[in-house]
Amino acid sequence: MPKELPSHAKVAIIGGGVVGCATAYHLTKLGVKDVVLLERRNLTCGTTWAAAGLVVILRGTPEMVRMTRHGYELYRELENESEQPTGFIQTGTINIATTEHRKHELELLESLAESFGVVNLPISMEELQARWPLINTEDVLSAYYMPNDAVVNPVDTTMSMVAGARKGGAKIFEDTEVLDFELKNGQVVGMKTSRGDLKCESIVLCAGMWSRELGRKLGISVPIHACRHMHFITLPMEGTYRGMPILRDQDGSLYFREEVGGLLIGAFEYGALPYETKEIPTDWYFKELPNDMEHFEPLMQNALKRVPALETAQIRHFTNTAESFTPDNMYIMGEAPGMKKLYTACGMNSSGVLCGAGVGKKIAEWIVHGYPKSGHIWEADIRRCFSWMMNTNWLKDRAPETPGNLYGIHFPFKQWETGRNVRTSALHGRLAERGACFGQLFGWERANWFAPEGVEPGYEYSFHRQNWFKYSAAEHMAVREGVGIYDLSSMANLVMEGRDALPVLQKICGNDIDAPIGKVVYTQMLNERGGIEADITVTRLKEEKFFIVTAGATAVRDFDYIERAIPDGAHAFLLDVSSAYAMLGIMGPNSRQLLEKVTDADLSTQSFPFATAKEIHVGYATPLAMRMSFVGELGWELYVPTDFAPGMFDVLMAAGEDLDVKLVGLHAVDSLRLERGFRHWPSDIDPDSTPLEAGLRFAVKFDKGDFRGKDALLKQKNEGLKRKLIMFTVDDPEPLIYHDEPIYRNSEMVSSNTHGAYGHLLRASLGMCYLKNPDGISDEWIMRGRYEIGISGRRYPITIHLTAPYDPKGKRARM
Ligand SMILES: Cc1cc2nc3c(=O)[nH]c(=O)nc-3n(C[C@H](O)[C@H](O)[C@H](O)COP(=O)(O)OP(=O)(O)OC[C@H]3O[C@@H](n4cnc5c(N)ncnc54)[C@H](O)[C@@H]3O)c2cc1C
């Protein structure tokens, strides 16, 4: 180890766990030699040393799978390169089901795995018993085998990456604690460490459980809470063998792997024990916590049931330590909003070993290329973290639900149970009184559906039509045929003002923002590759004042994207005013009739055309009314100061009585928008797809002057598209679809569903997918194919639609 800390590093990495070491390794692979890694005590002494070393590739999203697959492939080959062993053994994984719901979930996973390129096939009870001789199969309903998973030794694997990083030029310093930071113009330019000061150009925060408090020092949101996490290892047992598959009995919250002839048994349980809410001790060094046998007892009972031979086995070691968990079970990675060149890679939710290499690779790409070149990773992006999420009361309540959630049944629409009622709209109480069943999104409680009188507004989860299906269908039809009202106060509202506001927006938006006052412009914010960074509306309120509406989930991200585009010294000021406004959507063919009862404004198409906005009076409130619709019907979005929202709501509901107005939840909004073919960021459109590919050519104005991504889009336009987003309906009205189901063209898997819902007017499940043809994609080529979708291992014919299958003018003419 070098003794002298250099005075400067191009990239400084804080933390010598698997993630920090993987980041150093991948930076050197991308040619960045001037990398300094700082570890407070010893490499791997945080959480990495304790990991069970499971490398299970299948995850919930395609990009997560790409990251785990990278880890699997790297760990398999690493030893050859670094000459340090990793303990890699290809074992495969067996998942078993002991409940009907789990059985159904495993069936769905078969197709999902196929769409991610992961082999995951059902096996018979005989095969299960042969591969796993110690198992009790008495209550096992089904089993699936994924042959391409592995186990590794986490410490050896980390040290192997360290060896590779060192070979590539990285300098690793143990016994070096980062104590403080030097900030200049929104950038960390240096650090104070226990070994001296270090100037640096970029920083990567890979400090595991310690990242939250370091983040607090830096003024960024890194919402992590540690929970106790444990496993035990037995002495050698008859019936185990080297290369024995990992066994996951998720109904029992357990996993098993072979370890030196014995078994290693670990758990992902609901109600995990939170650890140290204020600060994790800084003298932590391969630390083991006292055994929580009382907590582990029910899990031990499950283990004994699954492997009766454990009754007589001797426990070699019980490991109880702590690991970082995040509020949504996803990592926290990427460039921190509001800061330049400060990256995070932490919050690993007990999968830092299997994903560490993939995370390190992405972070290295982010630093070198300015974005994660191998694919965007919004689900784990730090820009989804709001500042309020650093509230430790909330984190302490929520984090213990995360481990259990990992092995819980992933029902569609499943809601978190802890840490609720963080953000409620001004209408929350009124909606609750009227039967709202709320779901939580980024802290916001949103009415997902409304229970009629006498029905409990709660979810009864299943993989079939859930209890709310028929109520949501009625809400859907009210918007199609009459009038519905929904509360979308969770939408984020930004105000951009100043002499340079217009040029900044023109630079990053594909559409022409230089529109008359009162015009609402639907646009995408683009990157240099023409990819879609955001999907927003921009309304010109005054010559130099713009009102921007985006999704609540992307408020931090979109704010950051715009803010970074404001040149130093420019006269452009951006403000997040989301909490100041409530938003009510009044939608449906009778929406004009309803609004006319409560306003003196002229709502005719001549004086209030589509995509325009003006203040109107509704009762005693004066909302900004926008004639826009995300549900594909005549309608107005009313943006009203929150304190006026309840009064305005009452007036609208009273006026709507004789029009049979219906309150509408977010599940219906989703099915409505999908029938009309409206795209949603990030499921249907994202930074790696362009407006031309996504069928949003109408929102790109090539003749407006220069804008970000213009050259890339012009090139794509001139060369002709090779990829296109299309819609489809499933011919059989029975099956439901959600996301990532495989799509086949002429029997070959070619794509996957971006997002699915049931269209209650069309009476079919519908979704979208990107079709690709390297020789150029044409409508004729698309329609020439025969298409199917894979659901639970079965294929169902689908019908492709080149335009939205529902159009309010032609109704369902295109079906
Ligand atoms: C019982 C158990 C079983 C697990 N099993 C698996 C498994 O099978 N598969 C899997 O993928 N994952 C597993 N995990 C999870 C895995 O161990 C973690 O996700 C992973 O190790 C996290 O790595 P990290 O680099 O983010 O954090 P850490 O390993 O904690 O590294 C962070 C480092 O930062 C250092 N640091 C902190 N503050 C500073 C500072 N100010 N200055 C300098 N250095 C600092 C710390 O000393 C520490 O070494 C398991 C975890 C546990 C507890």
Residue 810 has pLDDT above 80, yes or no: no
Contacts 24+ apart (CB under 8 A), 425-432: 425/487, 425/489, 425/490, 425/582, 425/642, 425/645, 426/489, 426/582, 426/642, 426/643, 426/645, 426/646, 427/487, 427/489, 427/582, 427/584, 427/645, 427/646, 427/649, 430/646, 430/649, 430/650, 431/487, 431/663
Mean pLDDT of 725-736: 98
Atom of ligand 1 nearest to the CA of 345: 26
Residue indicated by tokens 């098993």? 256
pLDDT attached to residue 2:
60
Residues 6+ apart with CB under 8 A from 128: 94, 96, 135, 137, 140, 143
CA angle, corner 374, sides to 155 and 224, nearest 5?
A: 50
The closest-lying atom of ligand 1 relative to the alpha carbon of residue 257 is 8
Whose C-alpha lies nearest to ligand 1, atom 19?
352
Q: Do strands 178-184 and 121-123 pair parallel, antiparallel, or not at all (unpaired)? A: unpaired
Going 803 to 806 to 812 to 815, the CA torsion angle's sign is positive
Look up tokens 């900004």; give the residue: 624
Q: What is the pLDDT of residue 812?
A: 47
- Single-letter residue type at 495: V
Angle at 383 between CA 186 and CA 641, to 5 degrees: 95
Mutation pick for ligand 1 pocket among 14, 43, 48 (CB with most ligand atoms within 8 Å)? 48
Q: What angle do CA 709, 333, 343 make, to 5 degrees?
A: 80
At 429-457, the pLDDT tens digits run: 999 999 999 999 999 999 999 999 999 99
Q: Is the pLDDT of residue 754 over 60?
A: yes
Q: What pLDDT score was predicted for residue 687?
A: 98
Q: Determine if residue 475 is left, alpha or beta; phi over 0 gives left, psi from -120 to 50 gives alpha, anything else beta.
A: alpha
Q: State how far the Cα of 536 lies from the Cα of 550, in Å rounded to an integer.
A: 5
What mean pLDDT is reported for the chain? 97
What are the distances in angstroms from CA 95 to CA 133, 149, 268, 298? 15, 12, 14, 20
Side-chain half-sphere exposure of 605, counting CA atoms within 13 A: 2
Compute the distance from residue 158 Cα to the ligand 1 centre, in Å: 11
Collect contacts of 184-189 with beta carbons under 8 A, ≥24 apart.
185/340, 186/338, 186/339, 186/340, 187/339, 187/340, 187/341, 187/342, 188/218, 188/339, 188/341, 188/342
Closest Cα to residue 328, out of 208, 224, 445, 221?
Answer: 224
CA atoms within 13 A on the CB side of 551: 18
pLDDT above 90 covers what percent of the chain?
97
pLDDT band of residue 814 (cuts 50, 70, 90) is: very low
Confidence of residue 813 (pLDDT cuts 50, 70, 90): very low
Ligand 1 center to 17 CA (angstroms): 5
Residues with CB under 6 A from ligand 1: 14-20, 38-41, 45-48, 50-54, 177-178, 206-210, 214, 229-231, 266, 319, 321, 323, 346, 348, 350-354
Mind listing the pLDDT tens digit for each residue in 312-322? 999 999 999 99
Q: How far apart are CA 375 and CA 67, in angstroms?
A: 10
Averaged pLDDT for residues 481-489: 98
Distance CA 479, CA 403 (A): 39
What digits encode the pLDDT tens for the residues 587-620?
Answer: 999 999 999 999 999 999 999 999 999 999 999 9
Strands 613-615 and 545-550: unpaired
Q: What's the pTM?
A: 0.97
The string of pLDDT tens digits covering residues 660-717 is 999 999 999 999 999 999 999 999 999 999 999 999 999 999 999 999 999 999 999 9
Collect all residues with Cβ–Cβ distance below 8 Å to 73 and sequence separation of at least 6: none
